[in-house]
Structure 1
């Protein structure tokens, strides 16, 4: 193990809390080492949405319990008026961090900003929506076509409610001092950290700390070392290689609707050929990443959907793969990101295995924030991605449209099948959950059969926590982390 001095050197530039040898800040402030740096100054219209929601700064109209059922949050209740309109009754007594009251008008304006944003938040992919004030306590949300999952869609961290002052840039609103959560962001220090203070007027009770100090620490080993050294109280996503160095009461692990998968880019000169994709898949078929790279702290993936979370996906048809074609002497690029430390190790193993069947493989590993644009643009022939299919909206149809639709906003595989698009569009109109799930399993089967994507493992959340810390959200939807109930016993 590295010395305490080396730990200080590794994380001093990133941690905004007191460094080694300094005064212990004590339990009045919570210190949280998070694994991703802001990409858009914490705007909810970006991947930063999960950050601000997770640190207790922002809230949405509803939240999801562990089984995916929508529960009241900033909305006290909701009623379906007709096939396209829902009325949401706004909670009384809520104030934004800037002191202004959360009214029906403020809610309608906030959601309208999301509707008009360019690009539109992923939670609204394929949805034409308008928001109107009904009365002082009620807003009406109307969609052009029936949206059976509208209520759960309103749980997305991308659709949090912010004060009007947040929208000086309507395409990149700032939650700094503008949210409704138990903690208000008082300072964002670029991509290094953020400082939060308890919000005394929080509608849900008294927060357990005077504030929260968040440090953005991309390196998993540094997060683990910081927790071991007592520099932080919570560490996000500990590396699997470090988990056995912690006791059971220092870890929180929850199965997730998150799959690590290998996307074979359809625009690739090599992997545009289904036979070449099958050769690449067959070469790594016997690799057991859950047992090796994840040291048993993950689950094998038979498909895109994790049966432990999505029980409706437990019985899936056997996959029938295309015939292989030779790939010897062909060159491909393989990329992944370093924020989740297991990913680079998987890339190394896959690259070595592919070389054994004749592929010339170039590997790129870097910070996700720097590589996201390249992932989405099809720059690489193959990408190892960790993706939650319940984050934007806990609906498998919306996830499949976003990630594998011809116009999908997160289509890393660059996959396009107009027949699948039509089937997904039809499923999106169905009100029966079982019918939607049947389509999701069928489309998953077709995606796997074309080797557009190769599921590798189903992930679990792995938080490290300090002694006596309680009330941290064990949220399988990877949204809530720090809550009003988080405290030291």
Structure 2
């Protein structure tokens, strides 16, 4: 690994991409692991997709396309057959075979201590049957129309490292994929240095080396781009976007995003943490949740707080993805109606809450929400939880109400509904992100039915009905949809991805 560390240092010291043929990307949130099956979140998947591939891929607009699998077919209601691309090799030179796929699938649910596993994407999958080196069959418990969509999130690794743990991947020993770049060096909060995979099946990789440089501070990330320390940055601070756009030395790359800012009230426990309501849980009452929604000025948040780089909505997922509601009107702020609903529900004097907030792009939104709620009598303080502990505390259900960003990573609402609306612990892989006590037998059955409906038109209708319920009952309170906003030097060309991932192979010199 000493040689790899020397390479990483050379990448960081390179003065220009022309000399080093290196693309330096300043990223807001660095990956926390090189293990492709550990801790599902954007920071990890966005970085690791530069190294690992999936059977099915998606383009910048979330449309599916062949990945490592060149073709597939439905054999029967419980069987899909896939054909791998011939000639694909892992970074260590080993050929990709069906046995590697089987080992990857088997590993996903068996990574010990995983704080946010990828198992939601294998819900309903019972196993992988190897037919021959390039042919395999995926067995499911029933019809699985969303299988292809889910497979865009399952990274394939060689079976030779499938038994390795998180530590071996993070050291680089097991971090072997088939992607456009191979790992040169990485450590926590240090740049992820990568070298071009000249044998990549996807075509020519435009950069000899690429590095993902962690720059969490917004001002520092902008400064690094302006100073030439990096050639590209993600998550442009919205207040700086007009300045970048007007500077001919740079280009702004913006587009729709699958990420929504949502509020998650605990609807289950009698006295949830951070709620001061005399031992009661006001969030269990639909009227209270509706009052909280009506108190919000979504247009103002999108226009003023988000500098116009957001779209107001009360939906928990973007209206443009499969199974969402494309034409739902945005509720107008109505403070009097909110106060009336609070009084009707037995809280004419309001109550107190501590709004727990992720630090990732949401603190200013949290402050706006707190101010709006306080105006109607819900006395709200904001606690911004450090990113390192936000998910851990959320998983332990230490929040009575929290605000965070959620991405519909599959491009279909079945992901949100299956992970957050379905009851916990009743069906393997479902309810894995349900931290607010949602779920009834009736809604669980509807979610399972939709996930098993093969006809796209009928499945979309069922999913829209469930999304309507979530919005109408404010089970998850949507605030707004973010936009994907990146920037780079004027000699670069790319398209902002709706999933907000930054793939170095998709950034090209003009």
TM-score > 0.5 by shorter chain: yes
Question: Corresponding residue for 1:145?
Answer: 142
Asked if 1:334 corresponds to 2:346, the answer is: no
* Residue number among 466, 472, 480 corresponding to 1:449 in the alignment: 472
Following superposition, the deviation at residue 244 of structure 1 comes to 0.8
Contact 1:18 1:231 survives alignment (8 Å): no
Partner of 1:160: 155
Alpha-carbon separation, structure 2, partners of 1:142 and 1:405? 23
What runs of 5+ residues in structure 1 fail to find an aligned partner? 1-14
Contact 2:55 2:152 in 1 (8 A): yes
SS at match of 1:399: helix
Matches within 5 A, 1:65-214: 65=59, 68-117=62-111, 120-124=117-121, 126-156=123-153, 159-169=154-164, 174=169, 176=172, 177-214=175-212
**Match in the other structure for 2:276:** none
- CA distances 1:255-313 after superposition (whole Å, capped 9, x unpaired): 12221112222233342333332332222246621111111111121423323455862
TM-score normalised over the length of structure 1 = 0.86
User: 1:458, 1:74 → 2: CA distance?
Assistant: 31
**Structure 1 stretch displaced more, 357-366 or 168-177:** 168-177
Residue number in structure 2 paired with 1:378: 397
1:30 pairs with 2:23? yes
1:335-387 C-alpha deviation (Å, 9 max, x unpaired): 222232xx111111111222223333231113333201222333222211111
- C-alpha spacing 1:296/1:233, structure 2 compared with 1 (3 Å): same
- Could you say if the C-alpha distance between residues 402 and 271 of structure 1 is closer, same or farther in structure 2, counting changes exceeding 3 Å? same
The answer to which structure has the higher helix fraction is 2
In the alignment, the residues of structure 1 paired with residue 394 and residue 349 of structure 2 have an alpha-carbon distance, to the nearest angstrom, of 25
**Higher mean displacement: 418-427 or 405-414:** 405-414
Work out the CA distance in 2 between the residues paired with 1:410 and 1:17.
41
Among 295, 300, 304, the residue aligned to 2:307: 295
Alignment pair present for 1:476 and 2:498: yes
Cα distance change, pair 84–479 in 1 and its aligned pair in 2 (3 A):
farther
1:241 to partner: Cα distance: 1.2
Cα distance in 1 for residues equivalent to 2:192 and 2:16: 16
Write the deviation string for residues 413-439 of structure 1: whole angstroms up to 9, x where unpaired: 332232111111111110111212222
SS for the counterpart of 2:303 is coil
In 1: Cα distance, 2:60 partner to 2:232 partner: 21
Correspondence 1:265 to 2:259: no
Question: Residues 49-68 of structure 1: CA distance to partner in whole angstroms, max 9, x if unpaired?
Answer: 413344x2111011124564
Identify which of 408, 411, 425 aligns with 2:434: 411
Instruction: Report deviation, 1:40.
Output: 3.8
Partner-residue secondary structure (3-state), 1:313? coil
CA 1:17–1:294: 2 relative to 1, 3 Å: farther
RMSD of aligned Cα (Å): 2.8
Asked whether the 8 Å contact 2:323–2:414 carries over to 1, the reply is: no
> Which of 230, 241, 244 does residue 243 from structure 1 map onto?
241
CA distance in 2, matches of 1:424, 1:241: 40
Gaps of at least 5 residues in structure 2 are 1-7, 273-280, 332-336, 425-430
Q: CA separation of 1:289/1:304 partners in 2, compared to 1, >3 Å: closer, same or farther? A: same
Q: Conserved in 1, the CA contact under 8 Å of 2:51 and 2:179?
A: yes
Structure 2 Cα separation of the partners of residues 49 and 39 of structure 1:
6
Deviates more, 1:411-420 or 1:133-142: 411-420
Match for residue 464 of structure 1? 487
Gap change, CA 1:17 and 1:117, over 3 Å in 2: same
